[in-house]
């Protein structure tokens, strides 16, 4: 009888754990908080890269020099550095508007560089190394540039030779 009581207690404990796990899963799914470690480091809303443009519809403005800067310190206090080349995809379906916008970007490339550097400095190496980390970074830079220039002509961000250590 004591053996049956012990077995019954184990079963009840396992059921309680399962119920708690299901409750936590429901809360996570409903709130969308998957614990990705973001902790509010990105102030820019996540806007996915625009996919409706073909290669012919995009002209690329490439920053003349790679950006090298510090990343946000890891939780353990370790500092890291990133180096990346950045290209900005501009919607070229209206060539006159795109040309004017491209000329303005060339004149204000320091604003692009500052915006990208700001986003990089809010990023940890863990975020970069996570699955899809480079795409999320490109999306965050895209949203920040669209906000900075008040324009949706910027439709893609290309990251080349991304190196972090």
**Over the stretch 45-94, which tens digit does the pLDDT of each residue have?**
344 454 466 777 888 999 999 999 999 988 888 899 999 999 999 998 88
Query: Which is higher by pLDDT, 14 or 40?
Result: 14
Name the token pair of 67. 């950006």
Instruction: Decide if 84 is inside a domain.
Output: yes
pTM tops 0.85: no
Of the candidates 58, 56, 29, 12, which has an alpha carbon nearest to the alpha carbon of residue 155? 58
Are 7 and 65 contained in the same domain? no
Q: Is the dihedral of CA 121, 127, 133, 134 positive or negative?
A: positive
If asked whether residues 85 and 146 sit together in one domain, one would say yes
Residues 63 and 123 reside in one and the same domain:
yes
Domain tally, the chain: 2
Q: Do 85 and 157 have their domain in common?
A: yes
Phi-psi region of 40 (alpha: psi -120 to 50; beta: other; left: phi over 0): left
């Amino acid at each position: 009888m004591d053996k049956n009581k012990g077995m019954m207690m184990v079963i009840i404990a396992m059921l309680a754990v399962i119920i708690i796990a299901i409750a936590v899963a429901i809360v996570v799914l409903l709130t969308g908080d998957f614990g990705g470690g973001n902790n509010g480091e990105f102030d820019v809303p996540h806007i996915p890269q625009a996919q409706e443009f073909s290669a012919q519809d995009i002209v690329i403005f490439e920053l003349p020099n790679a950006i090298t800067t510090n990343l946000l310190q890891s939780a353990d206090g370790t500092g890291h550095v990133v180096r990346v080349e950045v290209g900005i995809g501009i919607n070229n379906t209206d060539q006159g508007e795109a040309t004017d916008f491209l000329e303005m970007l060339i004149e204000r490339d320091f604003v692009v560089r500052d915006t990208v550097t700001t986003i990089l400095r809010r990023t940890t190496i863990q975020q970069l190394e996570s699955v899809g980390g480079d795409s999320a970074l490109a999306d965050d830079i895209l949203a920040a540039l669209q906000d900075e220039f008040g324009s949706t002509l910027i439709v893609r961000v290309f990251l080349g030779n991304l190196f972090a250590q």
